[in-house]
Structure 1
């Protein structure tokens, strides 16, 4: 198994002491282990995070909280990408180095972890959690100015040269999900649909999408807001049953999705359920909710599933299984690799321009207007005010497929998604 530079949870006192020490180092004007700046090997301009030997990249993830399964898969896939690049000779004559911190989906750990790593890396190939990215976005835009590819797709992150989503934002993804139900004639004008959503950036941005498409398609939306700590969806299912909904959208985590599908099936609410990209994990198929998920549950996502036979996912699935034998293959592997590949492509482009400064890397990503990482969708990073795509695959749980998901509908941007306006 490959080794990652990870940190196990510490006591609050130890973490606070470490952060204070690193803050003091950052205020001294030195980039601790991050490179002194100027012109380095090969005549390439550098600053924080880059030396003549190493390009340091950060990852802020969740391996112990509500998205622990996703965070582990994303991070290991990104380490696998780093290993492959290094085996091929690195980038710009330098090896890549991935440094990981587990924040446990806790703002009290995520923000200090960002503060600790920021002076030492050229950028972040992962920052899991829209609320945490939003909390430091202004600082990134005005002071730190380094490329951050979050494992988060809130439209509230748009408008930044440095914080860039790889995939459709939650609102557009939800528009495509509801449009899928309309196209499949599972719902029609005049129907009521339910929406369970996390409070905060993720769920509330997805809700913007369902409100938008509901108004355009003549649907009535029944809203149910929950906290990430809520795992029993009995009350929400009861509310939907009373309202007579014909379908449900869920913008939450895998545990909430499993509870919703299982409770609905047990309670006689026989309607399709469609979730955003993080509302599924293949382990759910082995639970009591498995039959309900296999029957009428769907997932909207911006990558081919890891179980696809297409060359990109198939090769990644083989390499991941070799590197991490016994670990579950899920769509976090595809999402993590896709973000790492986009970041790596920006680094290669920056190297061609002999500018591996933070600004040089961010500018390099802006130049990618037809990026294809081999996972089914071309991405346009040229406009920070827009997501890199408006397309979504619709995936279906399948216990016989590696990773637990298969393509139900090819990637497409619905008419409603194409008409959607951002920033209004």
Structure 2
């Protein structure tokens, strides 16, 4: 395959993530009442608790959205089979926003009066568009997106770590893997928007602490061919590359780099890889060159809770391909049901009561990763990340290279940037 055809193949490798612009909408304050001595609010009846899920089932991140939703439904089914929460069956009210901000706003307006909490709102851009409305309605909302810009809102909660933390921890690994020394050049390719900006902040901080010189390249969400970026990085003489891009862009950059002789370690943030990339021409280069920094362990891990999740998911959805979003869905689902259980013990299932209950979970642990602290909305609940590597033939297409780690430099980063 000649270089031009190779570049074309890598550029078309996978679907894109498309961040969009923000907007807002208004809603009436939620009503409350009581039932059986327990204070209640919207989405609560004597027999049911209804939770919302706004996700992407038809757009550029549909593979991840679908997997996360199915993992949430799996957990809810298991909870309901064991008697539910507070004597009530849990129901998911699901709407597909196709990763479109306007559709997300419309769907939120429709479901908001009917739900007790939002079990997942996929997308940092979608969440940013709805922040004011979420807070106005006191609606606890778990976010499927880890931009630090979403920290500090009382009713909005990231699940796990942030993109900045991923790269501060991950670059410590990269320095060792690439044997980097002060003065060495490292490429930083990142996407415009909250995701890329937050990740780049972490990469810059880590590079400064290690004495490295960054060669930065910004890409648009719609860019698919990374030839120009690779050419610039190769000319600059970089010895490693850091990515905060979409999976398609990862496949293009790593594939083109390998085909043009820039065979250096590449570190990607968590959204930069999906297992579908191992079905593209970039597969050999990805398996050799790419590493992924993420707050979730590999689905190929031997952790008992991960093994059980994989087995349960495969049993319920035998035709579906596993990816890391399965863990995101499972963690979000357990977090919201644990929160509801805490609210039930406090005899307050109103919206404010549910958010208050979440803040009591300062040592949340479902066995899928590190113990997390949800007591402060201004802080990321998890500071540890794993380093994984693409590997065909294992669940989720990733294997563990480094277990959960919090590097010493992270304390200074959090003091300066708070995520």
SS at 1:307 equivalent? coil
SS at 2:53 equivalent? strand
Quote how far apart the aligned CAs of 1:65 are: 2.2
CA contact 2:168–2:409 (8 Å) conserved in 1: yes
Residue 393 (structure 1) aligned with residue 386 (structure 2): yes
Moved over 6 A (4+): none
* Number of residue pairs the alignment of both structures matches: 393
CA contact 2:178–2:240 (8 Å) conserved in 1: no
CA contact 1:67–1:253 (8 Å) conserved in 2: no
- CA distance in structure 2 between the aligned counterparts of 1:298 and 1:387, rounded to whole angstroms: 23
178-187 or 73-82, which moves further after superposition? 178-187
The normalised TM-score by structure 2 is 0.90
Quote how far apart the aligned CAs of 1:191 are: 1.2
What is the root-mean-square deviation in Å for CA atoms of aligned residues?
1.7
* Partner in structure 1 of residue 7 of structure 2: none
Residue in structure 2 matching 1:167, options 134, 156, 160: 160
Residue in structure 2 matching 1:295, options 288, 291, 311: 288
Residues 318-338 of structure 1 deviation map (CA, whole Å, 9 limit, x = unaligned):
111111111101111011111
- Mapping 1:251-330, distance limit 5 Å: 251-330=244-323
Residue 405 (structure 1) aligned with residue 398 (structure 2): yes
Residues 136-166 of structure 1 deviation map (CA, whole Å, 9 limit, x = unaligned):
213322x111111111111111112211111
Quote how far apart the aligned CAs of 1:405 are: 0.9
- Mapping 1:16-415, distance limit 5 Å: 37-40=32-35, 42-141=36-135, 143-415=136-408
Quote how far apart the aligned CAs of 1:60 are: 1.2
Quote how far apart the aligned CAs of 1:380 are: 0.7
Quote how far apart the aligned CAs of 1:184 are: 3.0
- CA distance in structure 2 between the aligned counterparts of 1:100 and 1:234, rounded to whole angstroms: 39
Which ranges of structure 1 fall in alignment gaps of 5 or more residues? Answer: 1-22
Residues 264-309 of structure 1 deviation map (CA, whole Å, 9 limit, x = unaligned):
1111111111111111111111211111111121111112122212
SS at 1:146 equivalent? coil
- CA distance in structure 2 between the aligned counterparts of 1:373 and 1:288, rounded to whole angstroms: 37
Which ranges of structure 2 fall in alignment gaps of 5 or more residues? Answer: 1-24
- CA distance in structure 2 between the aligned counterparts of 1:239 and 1:114, rounded to whole angstroms: 43
Higher relative contact order (CA 8 A, sep 6+): 2
SS at 2:105 equivalent? helix
CA contact 1:66–1:253 (8 Å) conserved in 2: no
- CA distance in structure 1 between the aligned counterparts of 2:283 and 2:272, rounded to whole angstroms: 14
